[in-house]
Structure formats: C-alpha cells, structure tokens
A = this chain, B = another copy of it.
Amino acid sequence: MTNVQATHTDELHVKGKNARQAAAVLGGLHTTAKDEALKAISQGLLDNVPAILEANRADLEAGRRAGLSESLLDRLMLDEARINAMADALNDLTQLTDPVGQVLEDWERPNGLKLSTVRVPLGVVGIIYEARPNVTVDAAALCLKTGNAVILRGSSSAIHSNMALVSVIRSSLATAGLPEDAVQLVEDTSRETAARLFKMNDVLDVLIPRGSAKLIRTVVNQATVPVIETGAGNCHVYIDEAADKDMAISIAVNAKTQRPSVCNAAEKILIHQKWPHTAELVAALQWEGVVVHGDEAVNNLADGVLVASDEDWGLEYLDLEVAIKIVSSTEEAIAHINTYGTRHSEAIVTSSLADAKTFQLGVDAAAVYHNASTRFTDGFEFGFGAELGISTQKLHARGPMGLPALTSVKTLISGNGQCK
C-alpha cells in the first residue's frame, strides 16, 4: 500500500478486530490455560535472548544517533539479566490468584430471581507507554492473566525491541494453543495513529497510559475511551508537634532520598511550628545531597536553605530536592496538602493518635500513612503480587492496582419465567 493514511487505518482496524475476537476466546479460558501460556512466554524469552538483544541493539544505536540521553538509553537497554528478570516475573504471575470468575456477591429477590455478580475480564485493553521494553512483556502478561486481549503502543525508540518481544510472545501463545492476537503491537508509532487509538471506543474497553506526566496528560485530554490514569505524586510528609525526632527524620529522609525519581517519593515536608528539630532535619537532608527550599520560617531556623516560591508547593521535583514549610496545626497541613497535593500518598509522623486520625480522614489521597514512609505505595509492598501502576484518579481503582483492576463484573440472573 502506498497511501500512508490507509495503512494507518488498516493496521488499527485489523488489529482492533483481531483483538475483539481474541478477547472472546480469552474470557472463557481456565486459569491453568492462561498460566501455561505465561510459562510458555517465559521460556520463549529465555530461548530467544540473542534475537531480542540484536533487536535491542538496533534501538540503542538509533537512540545514540538521535542523541538520546544516557538515562533514556539505560531505560531502553536490555541485557541477559533484564530478560531473565522478565522471564521470572512471568513465572511469578502464575502463582497469583486469577480474579476472573470470582463470585463477588450472590443474592435472591422476593420475586424468586437469583442474582450473582462475577468478575469478568475488561475485554480489550490498550496500553500506551514510553521507552522501557520491559513494559511490553509486563503489560502483556498482566492482561493475559486476567483474560484480556491487549493492544500495545510503545515508543518509536523501542520499536525493534518491542517487535522482537511481541513476536516471541505471539509464537509462545500459539505454542500454548492460545490466540496469538491476544497480544498485538501497533507498529505504526506515529502520533496520528496514537490519536486514533485513543478514540477507538468500539474496540478498547480501557486505555492505560504508563509513563511521564506529559504522556498521561495527553491521553486524558485526547481519549474518548475510558482511561485509567496513573499519575503524578507531589507527596508530603507532615511532621506533627508530637513526632518522635528520630522517626520523623528517618521517614522524611527515606521518603525523599530512597528513590527520588519515582511518584511515591516525598516532594514536600510540612513541620508543625512546635516541633523543635527542623534544623537537624534540614542538615540530615543536606547530608544526603538534597537541595532544600523552605519558607521564611524554615530559613530562620536552618542554614543553606533556598527561599521557596509559591510555585514550589505544586512542583514534583523527581530529584534530590525538597521544599519545607512550617504550619501551625494539623488542619493547616491538611488544607495545604488538599490544595497542592496530587492525591497520591501523604504521611503524618506523630505519637498522637487523635492527630493521626484527623489527618487520615481529612487528607484526600489514595494512600494516607501514619508513621511510615510514602515509599510503600506500590502493588508489591501492599502485597498484591503484581502492579499495573498507581491510580491517582478515584474511579474504578485508586492507589496501587493489582490484577482485579483489570477486571469488570457481570451480573447473572436466573429465573423461572419472571416478567416485570
């Protein structure tokens, strides 16, 4: 075909149709069939390491020519260890409970109708993501485990790696007797095609963006398909008047520095005006290399602190950088967090159970901590055994999403001729 527009149309059209057909088969599969396929894909990856690495080298070379940063190239890079980790994760997934088919409720009505609500797959899931090729395998595996067909749209910078991985996945699916079209990759990585994908309401039951705040914003603003938003984290640690000094400092430092580039890292610290250890906290953060911004009160208490501007309170630094503000009460801390926070993860450090309760009730966020680091907001840390992302929206799923987030429900009703 020479007409580019037609080619775009055809790829999505054909893959959409294929996905719906595959979804109809996947929805009826037993857990064991899905788990066998996951094991087959795991083995397939191990058996095809050279081909995957060769494809990845093509992406890395193209990335270097295009001047990608070292950190982006690192995200893009696959080696034997990373492929082994993917293969292990696939096997781990077979150990998790399959949510599909679970009966959530059953009840009977006075007219004799018997109802039961059961979990079913969503159907066809769209995933749009950035450079990491491991998301290709991870997303495909989570969708397969939950009986969903998936249409993957990765970044153009990882196209060779993604094509190699999806080729292994599809041939492994065929080996396991499952429809290959359970997992499909959009090979045309143009923005126009992505924009069309966002509006394929007749094909996609949900679209999940995984990646930067910018990607997520684009999807939210353009998509007509329902979106599960995995969002930004402008997380706060609030140190109450009644906070133990060592605990407060260790939680604040951990939340800020343990992995500053992720969404559950703390970006702001609020301190009650009567907590007397602000200077020590600032010194402890600076010792760990953190650039500290602070309001006027913090500047009066500690050295080497940059003056925080109004803008700082809404920023997600994603780096060794923090802004600190002194507040006069738990209520002021809650109001500040509800104004500037992103409803992700918020923590209070206090020995007062009353203040902890006020904070946990009053703060509007997916996860609200008392005396623990915000860094625990994670599907594995929560014990879900898998993570699809962390939802910062309130519909369908909030916080770390495990396998049930990839399911919907269906109500089955049995009667003996009832009419209304």
Which chain B residue lies CB-closest to A416?
A: B371
Q: How far is the CA of A120 from the CA of B399 in the complex (A)?
A: 13
The stretch from A34-42, A77-85, A290-298, A375-383 touching chain B is: A375-383
> Would you list which residues of chain A between 379 and 420 have a CB under 8 Å from chain B?
381-383, 393-396, 398-399, 408-420
Please indicate the chain B residues that have their CB under 8 angstroms from the CB of A375 in the complex: 419-420
Tell me what chain A mostly uses at the interface: helix, strand, loop, or mixed: mixed
Q: Which of B115, B255, B364, B417 contacts A371 (CB 8 A)?
A: B417
Please indicate the chain B residues that have their CB under 8 angstroms from the CB of A420 in the complex: 254, 258, 373, 375-376, 381
Q: How far is the CA of A201 from the CA of B375 in the complex (A)?
A: 26
Q: How far is the CA of A413 from the CA of B370 in the complex (A)?
A: 6
- Mask of A71-99 contacts with B, CB within 8 angstroms, 1/0: 00000000000000000000000000000
Asked if A398 and B408 sit within 8 Å, CB to CB, the answer is: yes
Asked if A394 and B221 sit within 8 Å, CB to CB, the answer is: no
Q: How far is the CA of A75 from the CA of B14 in the complex (A)?
A: 44
Minimum CB–CB distance from A231 to chain B (whole Å) comes to: 11
Please indicate the chain B residues that have their CB under 8 angstroms from the CB of A356 in the complex: 414
Minimum CB–CB distance from A395 to chain B (whole Å) comes to: 4
Asked if A376 and B418 sit within 8 Å, CB to CB, the answer is: yes
Q: How far is the CA of A288 from the CA of B346 in the complex (A)?
A: 62
Q: How far is the CA of A27 from the CA of B373 in the complex (A)?
A: 25
A28 located at the interface, meaning its Cβ lies under 8 Å from any Cβ of chain B in the complex: yes
A287 located at the interface, meaning its Cβ lies under 8 Å from any Cβ of chain B in the complex: no
Q: Which of B371, B382, B416, B419 contacts A415 (CB 8 A)?
A: B371
Asked if B371 and A414 sit within 8 Å, CB to CB, the answer is: yes
A261 located at the interface, meaning its Cβ lies under 8 Å from any Cβ of chain B in the complex: no
- Mask of A222-248 contacts with B, CB within 8 angstroms, 1/0: 001011110000000000000010010
Q: Which of B244, B382, B414, B419 contacts A115 (CB 8 A)?
A: B382
Asked if B115 and A395 sit within 8 Å, CB to CB, the answer is: no
- Residue with the highest number of chain B CB atoms closer than 10 Å, among A250, A366, A370, A417: A417
Asked if B369 and A415 sit within 8 Å, CB to CB, the answer is: yes
- Mask of A270-294 contacts with B, CB within 8 angstroms, 1/0: 0000000000000000000000000
A175 located at the interface, meaning its Cβ lies under 8 Å from any Cβ of chain B in the complex: no
A58 located at the interface, meaning its Cβ lies under 8 Å from any Cβ of chain B in the complex: no
Which chain B residue lies CB-closest to A110?
A: B383
How many copies are assembled?
A: 2
Asked if A418 and B373 sit within 8 Å, CB to CB, the answer is: yes
Please indicate the chain B residues that have their CB under 8 angstroms from the CB of A220 in the complex: 201, 224
Q: Which of B244, B360, B419 contacts A412 (CB 8 A)?
A: B360
> Would you list which residues of chain A between 163 and 214 have a CB under 8 Å from chain B?
201, 205-206
A365 located at the interface, meaning its Cβ lies under 8 Å from any Cβ of chain B in the complex: yes
Asked if B413 and A28 sit within 8 Å, CB to CB, the answer is: no
Please indicate the chain B residues that have their CB under 8 angstroms from the CB of A28 in the complex: 361-362
Which chain B residue lies CB-closest to A112?
A: B372
10 closest residue pairs by CB, A with B: A372-B415, A254-B419, A394-B408, A375-B420, A396-B396, A247-B417, A395-B396, A372-B418, A370-B414, A373-B419
**Can you offer 28 A-B residue contacts whose CB atoms are under 8 A?**
A109-B382, A109-B383, A113-B372, A113-B376, A120-B364, A122-B395, A123-B364, A205-B394, A220-B224, A221-B224, A226-B227, A226-B393, A226-B395, A250-B417, A251-B417, A255-B419, A258-B420, A365-B410, A367-B413, A368-B412, A370-B412, A370-B415, A371-B415, A372-B419, A373-B418, A381-B420, A399-B409, A399-B411
In the complex, besides A120-B364, A373-B418, 20 extra interface pairs with C-beta distance below 8 angstroms are A28-B361, A109-B381, A123-B364, A123-B394, A221-B224, A226-B226, A226-B229, A228-B395, A250-B417, A366-B410, A366-B411, A367-B411, A368-B412, A369-B413, A371-B414, A371-B415, A371-B418, A373-B419, A394-B408, A398-B411
- A residues contacting B by CB (< 8 A) are 24, 27-28, 107, 109, 113, 115, 120, 122-123, 201, 205-206, 220-221, 224, 226-229, 244, 247, 250-251, 254-255, 258, 338, 356, 360-362, 364-373, 375-376, 381-383, 393-396, 398-399, 408-420
